[in-house]
Structure 1
Amino acid sequence: MRTYTLHPERDALAGEAYGLERAHLVPDGFSWPAFAFGPLWFFFHRLWLAGLGVLVLLAGVALGGRLLGLTPVAASIIALLVSILIGLEASSLRRWTYARVGQPVRDAVIAASTEEAEMKASARWLEGAPPARPSSAPSGGLAVPPSDLAIGMFPFSETRR
């Protein structure tokens, strides 16, 4: 199962099909095409600033390796590690770019395939109900008073000895 985020335009209203037609669905996780093709993958998805940044990063790594006098094996290992980093961060850079141009994350769905994610996201979008958001109240319906809450794995604070 994979998580997919829905990025409609900022002024799109839930329940309208027009807003859904222009939305982007971004899968979370490692991107093999971004790993293999680097900046070309970003340019294909019209992510110009991110693609330019990746291109500068790869050129800087190559130039730095040349200036440091690294052996070809060491340079290849570093290039492989940078490509793995690009594959890991490609979907995050894609979400950042969409948020920057006015298409923030409005919903997230969990699905086994892209088709299933599209069906779930479109059904929720066309339903018209806004996605569930956490309440802004500090104790937001908790049965435990805020003074008894603890951060981390322990739900209640310990008593002093």
Structure 2
Amino acid sequence: MTTYTLHVPDEVDPGEPEALDRATLVPDAFVWPAFWFSALWFFWHRLWLAGLIVLAAEIVVWAAGLALGLSPAAGFLVALLLSWLIGLEASSLRRWTYARTGRPIRDAVTASDIREAEVKIVARWLREEGARLGSPPTRPVTPASLRADSPALGLFPEAQSPR
């Protein structure tokens, strides 16, 4: 199961259905395209500052490898480890960029895929709209056959002394 975070602009009211059109879901998982394409992935997602930071880190690591005279195998291993780190932290950098630009985390759900996460987010978001409009919250109804006839309030009615 993956955790997905919902990012919506600050000016949006909770529960506003039209706000979900501008919302972004970010999975908290390893990002393979960021591993393979690193800075290009950030630029593709319009994460300019994070992309520049990643590009600068790659250039510094490359220059340090040349300055230290690393063998090609060692240089490849260092580049591979840097790409692995970028793949691990890509979602965090994406969330950081959204929070910095006025789209903080508004909600988080756990789901097996992006579609299930969207369904859960829409259900929660619209439930907030109903609460904001003043409709009473829905409660689960307990069938009469399951209700206890004892006057006890709690989980252990047998702990009361018999009358």
TM-score range, shorter chain: 0.7 to 0.9
**Counterparts in 2 of 1:80-159, with a 5 A limit?**
80-128=80-128
TM-score normalised to structure 1 length: 0.78
Length-normalised TM-score, structure 2: 0.78
Structure 1 segments, 4+ long, off by >6 Å, are: none
Aligned length: 130
CA offset digits 1:70-99 (Å, max 9, x no partner):
000000000000000000000000000000
Q: Tell me the distance in 2 between the aligned counterparts of 1:100 and 1:74.
A: 36
Greater percentage in helix: 2
Q: How far apart are residue 13 of structure 1 and its match?
A: 1.2
Q: Which runs of 5+ in 1 are unaligned?
A: 131-161
The amino acid across from 2:125 in the alignment is W
What do residues 90-130 of structure 1 show as CA deviations (whole Å, max 9, x unaligned)?
00000000000000001000000001101111111111159
Q: Report the Cα distance in structure 2 between the residues aligned to 1:20 and 1:11, rounded to whole angstroms.
A: 13
Which one has a bigger Cα radius of gyration? 2
Unaligned runs of 5+ in 2: 133-163
Q: 2 CA distance for matches of 1:63 and 1:53?
A: 15
- Show the counterpart of 1:24: 24
Cα distance per residue 1:27-56 (max 9 Å; x no partner): 001111100110011011100000011001
In structure 2, how many angstroms separate the alpha carbons of the residues matched to 1:122 and 1:48? 29
Give the percent of matched residue pairs that are identical in Structure 1 and Structure 2: 60
1:66 aligns with 2:66: yes
| Structure-1 separation of matches of 2:9 and 2:23 | 7
Aligned residue identity for 1:72: P
Contact 1:5 1:108 in 2 (8 A): yes
Task: Tell me the C-alpha RMSD between the 2 structures.
Answer: 1.1
Instruction: Please state how far the C-alpha of 1:68 moved relative to its aligned partner.
Output: 0.6
